[in-house]
Amino acid sequence: MKFGKNICILNVGGTKYAFTREVIKDFPLRRVSRLHSCSSEKEVLEVCDDYDRERNEFFFDRHSEAFVFIMLYVRSGKLRFVPQMCELSFYNEMIYWGLESSHLEFCCQRRLEDRMSDTYTYFSEEDVKAEVESRAEEEQVSRFGPETGNGNARWLERMRRTFEEPASSIAAQILASVSVVFVIMSMVILCASTLPDWDTAKNNTVEEHRIIEAVCIGWFTAECIVRFIVSRNKCEFVRRPLNIIDLLAITPYYVSVAMTALTGENPQLQRAGVTLRVLRMMRIFWLIKLARHFLGLQTLGLTLRRCYREMVMLMVFVCVAMAIFSALAQLLEHGLDLETSNEDYASIPAACWWVIISMTTVGYGDMYPITIPGRVLGGVCVVSGIVLLALPITFIYHSFVQCYHELKFRSARCVRSLSSEFLN
């Protein structure tokens, strides 16, 4: 620091602390140590709130009592929360002075994690970007008027929100309701087409069935095309799993129509019929589209996405236990006594089926051990399955509750904005 006196005074919320330049240089708090590298008052004011050159006093408009506990950490190396102070408020003070949650004592870290899991709301990068862009557009319109703003961009953004965010406006809710009706109608037709009497009914009313199917496919096609046109990032839109499912579910209809028109009812179409039926059956995944309109499905999807590590850990537990118990079951039921061997356990892969239904306590009864050691192993397998499956459930449960509160908060915010739009 090339200005001021040798003694530096830090004024934090009215409480003053005096330090020499050498102490400021190696101060454990990053914000304070940054003062030493400042070469002008302009740079100083980027670090603190105000500066008195005559007294060489730096003013910080922060919580004085919180800084007392932070100074105790500087002296003793132990950082704890201020009594009767919100953990998140103290954590904000820590971040301001350049500390992290890892500097807290273990007990205080647990308190902070519990507090953040109860109140912290995650926002995706796309949501934050959309909010920033919408604010920038509103500011531009308020400054220069609606005629100078980018009308096409604002119109595309409004269309995107209408198709992608069902709770963004009244028009979006109406469009979402229509989409749900078409999804349900398509699912009903798909399920009914597997009934034994469907072929007879279809022959009697073939035109009605074709019209209903064509209308449903036409709606989904138009919706997919419009959503692709108004999307911000076309490559990201194509890579989304739900959009891939939409494409795979729509394509078989047009392929079958094209092949029928070009080749007619011939063996080539019959050979391709198996593939088309498999792809057509993927329409059942359109039910996942309902997650846009129901909080429960959104919570489930968000929980699975955030708990993939716990899910992988659960699968590892099950696979390791399955490998161990299936090998032991095959040995005890088939490998030791060939005269009374149980043919259901002739191989380890066959025994894996028994292990998985035993660990999940399903027990279909299609195969079971007949020897005493095998039955003892079965009891151990059941108990081990209950314990192993219960271990990661706690983490998944807490994540589910957190995701539910987060999505509920977002939904309430969208409802408030929708109410304001309706009143306006």
In 3D space, the residue among 362, 320, 328 whose CA is nearest the CA of residue 345 turns out to be 328
Q: Is residue 43 part of a domain?
A: yes
Q: Check whether residue 323 and residue 286 sit in a common domain.
A: no
Q: How confident is the prediction for the chain on average, in pLDDT?
A: 77
Q: Is residue 363 part of a domain?
A: yes
Listed in sequence order, the residues at least 6 apart from 81 whose beta carbon sits closer than 8 Å to its beta carbon are 69, 87, 90, 104, 108, 111
Cα–Cα distance, 135 to 24 (Å, whole number): 40
Q: Is residue 172 part of a domain?
A: yes
Q: Is residue 53 part of a domain?
A: yes
Cα–Cα distance, 150 to 14 (Å, whole number): 48
Q: Is residue 115 part of a domain?
A: no
Among 153-157, 183-187, 351-355, 412-416, the range with the most confident prediction by mean pLDDT is 351-355
Structure tokens given for 52: 């008195």
Q: Check whether residue 13 and residue 79 sit in a common domain.
A: yes
Q: Check whether residue 313 and residue 249 sit in a common domain.
A: no
Q: What is the reported pLDDT for 125?
A: 44
pTM reported for the whole predicted model = 0.54
Q: Is residue 207 part of a domain?
A: yes
Q: Check whether residue 396 and residue 302 sit in a common domain.
A: yes
Confidence of residue 276 (pLDDT cuts 50, 70, 90): low
Lowest mean pLDDT among 109-118, 147-156, 252-261, 391-400: 147-156
Q: What is the reported pLDDT for 248?
A: 76
Among 102, 132, 149, which residue terminates a domain?
102
φ and ψ of 283, to 5 deg:
-60, -20
Helix, strand, coil shares of the chain as percentages rounded to 5? 75, 5, 20
Cα–Cα distance, 252 to 257 (Å, whole number): 8
Q: What is the reported pLDDT for 328?
A: 92
Among 293, 312, 339, which residue terminates a domain?
293
Residue 221: CATH number of its domain: 1.20.120.350
Q: Check whether residue 280 and residue 382 sit in a common domain.
A: no
Residue 71: CATH number of its domain: 3.30.710.10
Among 268, 293, 318, which residue terminates a domain?
293
Q: Check whether residue 334 and residue 348 sit in a common domain.
A: yes
279-331 pLDDT, tens per residue?
667 667 777 777 667 777 778 888 888 888 888 888 998 999 999 999 999 88
Residue 345: CATH number of its domain: 1.10.287.70
φ and ψ of 348, to 5 deg:
-65, -40
Structure tokens given for 233: 């990032």
Q: Check whether residue 183 and residue 254 sit in a common domain.
A: yes
Q: Check whether residue 172 and residue 288 sit in a common domain.
A: yes
End-to-end Cα spacing for the chain = 56
Q: Is residue 130 part of a domain?
A: no
Q: Check whether residue 334 and residue 288 sit in a common domain.
A: no
Q: What is the reported pLDDT for 205?
A: 55
Q: Check whether residue 180 and residue 271 sit in a common domain.
A: yes
Q: Check whether residue 288 and residue 308 sit in a common domain.
A: no
In the predicted structure, residue 120 carries a pLDDT above the cut 70: no
Structure tokens given for 317: 């537990």
Cα–Cα distance, 22 to 7 (Å, whole number): 10
Q: Check whether residue 288 and residue 177 sit in a common domain.
A: yes
Query: In the predicted model, what is the mean pLDDT of residues 110-124?
Result: 64
How many separate domains does the chain show? 3
326-369 pLDDT, tens per residue?
999 988 888 776 666 788 888 899 899 999 999 988 888 888 88
Contact criterion met (CB below 8 Å) for 26 and 32: no
Query: In the predicted model, what is the mean pLDDT of residues 76-95?
Result: 86
Residue keyed to tokens 């003053």: 16
Among 99-103, 244-248, 283-287, 338-342, the range with the most confident prediction by mean pLDDT is 99-103
Q: Is residue 400 part of a domain?
A: yes
Range of the domain at 234: 168-293
